[in-house]
Amino acid sequence: MFDRHTLELAMERYRVPNRKKPGISGKELAEKVGISEVTMSRIRRGNIKNPGESIRMKLEKSLGLEPGTLVTPGDAPAEKPVILSPDRRELMAAYDAADDMGRIAIRSYALGISQKHPRNEG
């Protein structure tokens, strides 16, 4: 499944040349990827749940992400919150010490853990 939250994080952190603040607009990213601004907006809002492998790969490449970064493990929706138990403090410490791309990788790993061991809801 497509991870639109990681997309948003990567867009916020992306460095546009000759711009002081990090971040890339949906319009700029849509132009880089070769899709319409409307399609980009629908992907970001979650109206398009799976934009397809071709678009996902273009988004990852345009943002300088590793292939597969915008894919959530398993079939659970990306919107499911990640809850780390106290014994995951090492993972949290690694996240705090990591650079932006490392944080994305750790977040993806943590999301996989939460999907394998969902919290009790009731």
| DSSP symbols for 52-90 | -HHHHHHHHHHTTPPTTTTB-SSSS-TTSPP---GGGHH
Provide the whole-model pTM.
0.56
What was the pLDDT predicted at 104?
80
What confidence score (pLDDT) does residue 33 get?
Answer: 93
Cβ neighbours for 115, distance < 8 A, ≥ 6 positions apart: 73, 74, 76, 80
Digitized pLDDT (tens) for each residue of the chain, 122 residues in all: 777 788 888 888 887 777 777 888 899 999 999 999 999 999 988 888 888 889 989 998 988 888 888 886 654 444 444 444 555 667 667 777 778 777 787 777 766 654 555 544 44
Q: What is the fold of 4-116?
A: 434 Repressor (Amino-terminal Domain) (1.10.260)
Q: What is the pLDDT of residue 81?
A: 46
Q: What are phi and psi of 67, to 5 degrees?
A: -55, 135
pLDDT at 122: 42
Please give the pLDDT value at position 74: 55
